[in-house]
Amino acid sequence: MKIFAERVLLSEGWKSKQTLTIENGIIISITSGKDESAECVGTVIPGMVNCHSHAFQRAFAGFSEQGSDGQDSFWTWRNVMYQFLANLTAEDAKTIATQLYIEMLKSGYTRVAEFHYLHHDINGQPYSNLATMAEAIFEASEQSGIGLTLLPVLYQYSGFGQLPPNAGQKRFINQTNTFNNLVSDCYQLSQKFGNTNVGIAPHSLRAVDKSSLQDAVAHIRALDSEAPIHIHIAEQQKEVDDCLNYYQQRPVQWLLNNFQLDPQWCLIHATHINEQERDDLIATKAIAGICPTTEANLGDGIFPTAEFLAQGGTIAIGSDSHISVNPVEELRWLEYAQRLIKQQRALLATLEQPSVGQYLWAHTAKIGAQSTNSNTGELAVGKQADLLVLDENKLSLFAARDAHVLDSLIFATQNNVISDVMVNGKWCIRNGAHAIEQQASAAFAQLLKQVSQSL
């Protein structure tokens, strides 16, 4: 397959009139000029990687916005989540994930890291096939066409000090040996499904202890020495306070002191991080996984993004609870939160790359690929062909010089300007549409109607 791009954002920057040759999902050559056999497209940019997703939560977006006399918080939001998922089946999980992944593709995500913790049946009992729920996620990724990094979640306790799990968490809980067996089963599944891989996600320091975390890390690294390891950490101030009370250390500080972090670790949120933790985290080359729309929706707080990036830190973005499924909105709010704090503009850029939009898109796509251990995130020879084609008619209504394209995309456009999406060398979205989106949305809408009656 060959495509001719009038302009394309390559790893070294914008280039005009380039032909990309793709074989077996990989870009094998990029040459100047038009190959007569190539399909002609306009503006091409790399696909975005979503570093943090809880797929089932897409189905209760909008159900948790009722007021509570100023008493609502992340912790009360969780109760709505527990109530919602109590009766979801594996088929329901597949229906939700398929709808979500099509939405992701249409908005520009070409790969997702699925932080998957809905493991057991509605009674909290393990399925005879431990990976039943996980297999539903693999099938949804296959049907939609999105690349998948599955991260089975180790979840054992309801709070620091190995507090017993509450009733709402019964579908999440695994002992370490069972969890490691589940991970092995998922690893085997990933050999059957194309464009997928497996890591792990210890849920949080409040949900696992040191010994179980050590065992889980050792197990996945025995299967794959570069497997991604993601963990929620320091998302809420209460979590920091509880960690201080139990460990006498802050969460990121404790993790850094007890584990050898590396570039395959991704610390999700890390919202409440102090300067010493920030500096020490940067030194490990681990990633901060930021989810601006969910962090805003849950009232988490704001990550010190400007300082973290200025000192050489790396970040990826995720849609987390899917209150928004749009990388443009995530990046817009990543920058806007810093502007509101600092009362300045155009903060997340560099002297080498003064375009905020271009810097953020290129950085988070590349680091998102690192967070999933996938050969994606930038367009170059040897990389997987995960790319987006922008609608020239819509782009023409905004500043459209090379230097302004991604600034316009992120800060000026209100409607989706992505017309076509390729994943692993295959077109998943053409002219803004997915081949199965109508049946997927109909099934999802029917499920939503049933679920809403129980809330």
Residues recognised as catalytic:
269, 320
402 touches 34 (CB < 8 A): no
Angle at 60 between CA 168 and CA 112, to 5 degrees: 95
- Calculate the CA 34 to chain-centre distance: 35
412 φ, ψ to 5°? -120, -35
Q: Residue 329 in contact with residue 335, Cβ under 8 Å?
A: no
User: Among residues 313, 243, 310, 248, which one has the least CA distance to residue 272?
Assistant: 243
For 417, the 3-state DSSP assignment is: coil
Contacts 24+ apart (CB under 8 A), 240-243: 240/272, 242/159, 242/160, 242/206, 243/160, 243/205, 243/206
Q: How many CB atoms lie within 10 A of CB 12?
A: 9
CA distance 194 to 216: 25
CA dihedral 203, 205, 210, 214 (to 10 degrees): 30
Which residues lie closer than 8 Å to 168 by C-beta, 6 or more apart? 78, 79, 81, 82, 83, 86
Question: In this structure, what DSSP letter does residue 33 have?
Answer: S
Asked whether the beta carbons of 232 and 269 are under 8 A apart, the reply is yes
CB environment 168-206: b (16+ within 10 A), e (fewer): bbbbbbbebeebbbbbbbbbebbeebebbbbbbbbbbbb
Query: In the beta sheet, which residues pair with residue 150?
Result: 114, 198
